[in-house]
Amino acid sequence: MKTPSVPLKKKKRSSVWVTLIPLYLFTLLFVAGPLVYMFVLSFQTRAEVWGVVNQFTLDNYKNILQPVYLNTFVESFKLAITSTLLICAIGYPFGYFMAKLSPAWKKRVMLLLMIPFWTSSLIRLYGWIIIFRANGTLDKLLMGLGLTDSPLKLLYTYPAVVVGMVYALLQFMILAVYSSAEKMDWSLVEAARDLGATPLKAFLTVTLKLTLPGLLSGVILTFIPSMGLFFIADILGGNKVVLVGSLIQDQLMKAHNWPFAAALSVVLMILTSLMISLYKRITHTTELEGIL
């Protein structure tokens, strides 16, 4: 059915553009505006007592290079890498196996996944406090099994924060991997096997390659937040673990050094964009797998 695409009425007079006004206004005013201001702020000078002086400086960026702050970046990165690797190790098989379930079971597992996903992240973290607290569930269990004699006091330690991160972000990985494994053409794996590939080889050359967008998307979806989720470090790590996110929050709320907080955010933002563009470069896609 090919209709001649000659418009009978002049399309230019269409008033549909009106519908774009809210989005344009909102985007420019509340997304672009604040981000531009963050950039500007990061080059301004902090006032003696309160506020910001409009004087150009690079000190805020130089400040980041101070060992204390640089160290925070490094530590935060290490934590993010550790959590992300663990999340990959746990989440990838989950998403992969899930995609192989029967349709009915897929639905059930999905529903089961959705409930923790929709549950407030604070509630779920709170559960870990109960587990990790001295003489808490974990200590009781381990002591009951005779594995330890005294409480481990895991709460407010580094491992506790890692567990919290993994727990809070695991679903993103699962869903991302699942979404690409689900779409995968499994007959390709069969073909590889028919042609004599070992299961491992078939997995590495076919499955892994085809689910790579999902895996990488999952990495981004977990790595980026894990540098900013300061409340996890706060609740499960006490003051011992400081993320870039915690640093930004401290500079904003406690030290009131807004320009420095802005500079930290700009750096974090650049790192984030680098990761996303790297993802796009590798997978040749524009949208992250598993986000909507």
Residues from 134 through 163 that contact other proteins (CB under 8 A): 134-137, 140
Q: Of 29 and 74, which has the nearer Cβ to other proteins? A: 29
Pull the structure tokens for residue 117: 């996903």
Q: Which of 213, 218, 225, 237 binds other proteins (CB under 8 A)?
A: 225
Residue 53 has φ and ψ, to the nearest 5°, of: -105, 140
Q: How far is the CB of 5 from other proteins (least distance, A)?
A: 11
Which stretch in 57-65, 66-74, 124-132, 142-150 sits in contact with other proteins by CB under 8 A? 124-132
Distance CA 187, CA 193 (A): 10
To the nearest 5 percent, what fractions of the chain are helix, strand and coil?
70, 0, 25
Q: Of 127 and 152, which has the nearer Cβ to other proteins? A: 127
Q: Which of 82, 205, 249, 257 binds other proteins (CB under 8 A)?
A: 249
Distance CA 146, CA 263 (A): 51
Which stretch in 53-61, 63-71, 81-89, 224-232 sits in contact with other proteins by CB under 8 A? 224-232
CA triple 245-283-179, angle to 5 deg: 80
| Residue 211 near residue 96 (C-beta atoms within 8 A) | yes
What's the CA dihedral at 151, 157, 163, 165 to 10 degrees? Answer: 160
In sequence order, the β-bridge partners of residue 45 are 53
Which stretch in 21-29, 64-72, 81-89, 200-208 sits in contact with other proteins by CB under 8 A? 21-29
Position 83 contacts other proteins (CB under 8 A): no
Position 234 contacts other proteins (CB under 8 A): yes
Position 244 contacts other proteins (CB under 8 A): yes
Position 262 contacts other proteins (CB under 8 A): yes
Distance CA 99, CA 179 (A): 8
Pull the structure tokens for residue 90: 């746990």
The residues in 95-114 that bind other proteins, with binding defined as CB under 8 A, are: 97-98, 100-102, 109-114
Pull the structure tokens for residue 257: 């050094």
Which stretch in 55-63, 64-72, 81-89, 283-291 sits in contact with other proteins by CB under 8 A? 283-291
Pull the structure tokens for residue 125: 């973290």
| Residue 174 near residue 106 (C-beta atoms within 8 A) | no
Position 73 contacts other proteins (CB under 8 A): no
Pull the structure tokens for residue 269: 């933002």
Q: Of 109 and 197, which has the nearer Cβ to other proteins? A: 109
Position 182 contacts other proteins (CB under 8 A): yes
Position 230 contacts other proteins (CB under 8 A): yes
Position 248 contacts other proteins (CB under 8 A): yes
Q: Which of 2, 6, 10, 17 binds other proteins (CB under 8 A)?
A: 17
**CB-based burial, 83-95: b 16+ in 10 Å, e otherwise:** bbebbbeebbebb
Stretch 39-58: interaction string toward other proteins, x if CB under 8 A: --x-----------------
Position 22 contacts other proteins (CB under 8 A): yes
